[in-house]
Structure 1
């Protein structure tokens, strides 16, 4: 192996005169994608986000319109308790105005009870009742989806059966019919004698001649 000359100019200076080749991973494609190729961006645009939110609101509004009051025992029980609490709060509000001039202490106690009842009613509405409503709506939506899938399967099965029947009918029409065989008569097939019968007749004729 030959030894490089240390007196060469490139070995006498500290400057880097050569060039390093870039890695293939850092290179960008020079050609643009075809016109039929659609590059989907990774991040969603504002219009897409707005459209998704609008569709979600419409879906929620449709579910609320159909299944706002689920016909379940638990929902009815909680709703009854909610109405009782609201009625008691209204009665206490009216009573507090009546007894304000009589005793301020009683009025303040009633106001405290009113606030407590309102908090309980809000808790039932936004945590218990809403949770039951959402679970019922989700169940009905999934049930509707299952029914749609079952209906689609039935339609596809009917179409498949109809197609098979049509193919079978075409196969029957294309198959040539075999000619009906003539019934064999007393002397073989029709009026023609079989080979055995002919041989017997020839033998009988020879015997008569002898």
Structure 2
């Protein structure tokens, strides 16, 4: 609701001490519940993302001490680290992933090489007025090739590589702790045998 202007007659009368009947309405945002929520109702603040996620999982962290909360968070971080380590190990075992990743690096390399070629043309032919047409055409072609290669590399990563990465992460998150340890140990064995 809007506030009444200071020049309004009713406002000026109030300021001078002359009060007339009536009152101003309070806004709806100041309304509060008349009584507390019943014991069967669980009130969870919706502002904190972690609290919502914990509520969805059925965990209630409000009754825990600071040390217990820290221990719980440390355990969750340790579990996530295990999952990511196992997912990386599964990715290294996946032959399609390594092949597609090489293609991705080649595309990025071509894009960076084209950018360097643009700078070389600019440095060599930049001040020479006789070959400016050749230099400008070469720079334009190399810049287009660089942007095309880099954009194709990112699209390639999004379309081809990311689904494999997500599948390995989902597989790793579905494994038990013993299986996770087994996958990580197998990866360590492979590292040692390659050396």
Structure label with greater radius of gyration: 1
Structure number with greater CO (CA < 8 Å, separation at least 6) is 2
TM-score, normalisation: structure 1: 0.43
TM-score, normalisation: structure 2: 0.46
